[in-house]
Every structure is written in structure tokens, then in C-alpha cells.
Amino acid sequence: MPDEYRNYPDIVKLQRELGIRISGKRGYDIIRDIFFVEENVRSNDNSSGMKLYISCFPNFVSYYNFLNGDIYENSCYYQYDFSEEEIKKYNIDLKRINSTAFINYTATSFYNKLDSEYIQQYQRLEQEKELRKKWIGKVNSCSTCKELCKIIQDFKAENLSGMSRDDLEFYFFNFISHDKEKASAIIMQCLAYDWEIIDARTLCSVYPPQKVLTAYNPKTKSRKKRLENILSN
């Protein structure tokens, strides 16, 4: 049967009487703000196969008429607020209205189905997040160059296998953004002692280049000259 004739009232009525059309879930879709009816319709080739159709309705009236008032069984009206007019006109029994969602699973249901490799990766990232939060707090609490040196030494000792320059730069830039003025004074001190955790050229993108150049006191003077040449070009 062509789809355009599928929901003609006489055809719907006859198919339901013959058991060719069987209504399933029905109700209100809060996301799309429409009413819907799921129906299984037997194939035309006399086989036992059934095809699922979903009919949608823009309002309660057309939905009610399509179901001929059969709105209670296997239904869900989550978040739909029946008007006084609808309740009175259609004699709706609110005690029979199901206002809970069809969904019967939670995030845990999906979690249990995840493969072990994905779960291990998730747990590892969660541990890393907590570790980063710990070191962010320690670095941000520093108020002197000496304290910062000690924190970085502790960090290196605890992260011998996984620590990289990128990791140190991550904490430094977070330190700078946390309190730019306090960080400026401390980092300039570090540059004066040739304690260069962040490349001096990188710091020139955060602080005035001349300020960085003035504070920069490497043991190898050619390094400062090289920075001067870079900044002058």
C-alpha cells in the first residue's frame, strides 16, 4: 500500500480490526514537541514479517483522533501539561496517564558495556586530571623564586618517567594566568638566576620583550645576544 494512504481513517480502522496493524508505544515527545504513535504493520506478502511505522501529530486533538481515544496503554506523556479543556472534552483520566519517560537505562548502563581498554583509559585520564589539579595548586601557591624552584624539583622527582618540558610550560602558563603580576616578579627572578624553565623567547609573548631581556642573565652571554638579535629583527 502506498504510504500516502497508510493513515486514511477507514484503512487504519480495518487493519486494526484484522490484526494487520498493531499499535505500540505512543505519547508525547518533549524534544520535538509532537505526539507520536509507533505501529507494527504486517507485510503485504502474507509473510510473518512486520514493519515499524511512526506517525507524528502536531497536537493532541489529531493524536487522540488517530488512536480513537486509545491513549493510555504503553504510553508516555513526560512533561506534557494537559489543559483543562483537553481534560474535560476528552474525559482524560489523569490517574491513568504515565508521566515518566520510556527510557529505563542510565549512564551506568552504557558504562558497563564499554570495553575494558576504554575504561582503563578513562580511569587513567581521571587520575591524571587529579594529579594536574594537585600540581596547579602547588605552583600557584608559590610566592618566591625559591619556592617555585623547590616545587619544580619536587615535580621532576615525582614524574621522572612522564615529565616533559611541555608539562612544565603548562604549569607555568597557568601560574601566569592565575596572577600575572605576582608571576612576573618571580619569573623575572628566575631569569636573573639563569633558571630558564620557559624559553625566554616564549616569555616575550607574555611580558614586554625589553623587560624579559633586562632580567635575562644567562651564564652563556651569547644566548642573551642571540635573544637581542631576535627581538631587534
Residues 218 and 191 in one domain: yes
Check residue 83 and give its pLDDT: 92
Q: Is the pLDDT of residue 209 over 90?
A: no
Q: Please check whether residues 225 and 123 belong to one and the same domain.
A: yes
Q: Is 70 exceeded by the pLDDT of residue 163?
A: no
> Is there a single domain that holds both residue 56 and residue 121?
no
HEC readout, 59-112: CHHHHHHHHCCCCCCCEECCCCCCCHHHHHHCCCCHHHCCCCCCCCCCHHHHHH
pLDDT of residue 222 exceeding 90, the answer is: no
Based on the structure, what is the number of domains in the chain? 2
Listed range (101-110, 111-120, 140-149, 163-172) with the worst mean pLDDT: 101-110
Indicate the pLDDT class of residue 201, thresholds 50, 70 and 90: confident
Instruction: Flag whether pLDDT at 109 surpasses 70.
Output: no
Task: Classify the C-alpha dihedral 144-145-151-155 as positive or negative.
Answer: positive
Three-state DSSP class for residue 145: helix
| Residue after which a domain boundary falls, among 46, 68, 96 | 96
The x, y and z cell numbers of residue 36, run together, are 507520536
Long-range pairs for 130-139 at CB < 8 Å and ≥24 separation? Answer: 132/170, 135/171, 136/171, 136/174, 139/171, 139/172, 139/174, 139/175
Q: Does residue 51 form part of some domain?
A: yes
Please give the residue range of the domain that contains residue 63: 3-96
Q: Which of 55, 56, 59, 58 is nearest to 40 (CA)?
A: 55
Q: Are residues 222 and 157 in the same domain?
A: yes
- Residue 102 within any structural domain of the chain: no
**Above 80 in pLDDT, residue 3?**
no
Q: Is residue 135 situated within a structural domain?
A: yes
pLDDT bucket at 157, cuts 50 / 70 / 90: confident
Kindly state whether residues 138 and 116 are assigned to the same domain.
Answer: yes
> What is the mean predicted confidence (pLDDT) over 72-77?
91
121: confidence class by pLDDT, cuts 50, 70, 90: confident
In a domain, 101, yes or no: no
Residues 38 and 122 in one domain: no
- Residue 108 in this model has a pLDDT that exceeds 90: no
Per-residue pLDDT band for 85 (boundaries 50, 70, 90) equals: very high
In a domain, 26, yes or no: yes
Which pLDDT score is estimated for 122?
77
58 lies in some domain: yes
Residues 165 and 220 reside in one and the same domain: yes
Verify that 137 and 188 share a domain, yes or no: yes
Query: Average pLDDT in the 161-168 region?
Result: 58
Chosen domain end from 64, 96, 128? 96
- Long-range CB pairs of 145-154 (<8 Å, 24+ gap) are 145/186, 145/189, 145/190, 145/193, 145/195, 148/186, 148/190, 149/190, 149/195, 152/197
Integer Cα distance of 204 and 206 in angstroms = 5
**Residue 34 domain-assigned?**
yes
- Residues 182 and 129 both lie in one domain: yes
114 or 139, higher pLDDT: 139
Question: Is the same domain home to 91 and 115?
Answer: no
DSSP β-bridge partners for residue 190? none
Residues 134 and 225 both lie in one domain: yes
Rounded mean pLDDT of 93-100?
Answer: 89
Residue 90 lies in a domain: yes
∠ at Cα 32 (1, 43), nearest 5°? Answer: 20
Question: DSSP 3-state assignment of 188?
Answer: helix
What digits encode the pLDDT tens for the residues 7-64?
777 788 878 888 888 888 999 998 889 999 998 888 765 556 788 888 999 999 999 9
Grid cell, residue 50, equals 512486520
Same domain, 125 and 205: yes
Comparing 111 with 37, the larger pLDDT belongs to 37
User: Does position 230 have pLDDT exceeding 70, yes or no?
Assistant: yes
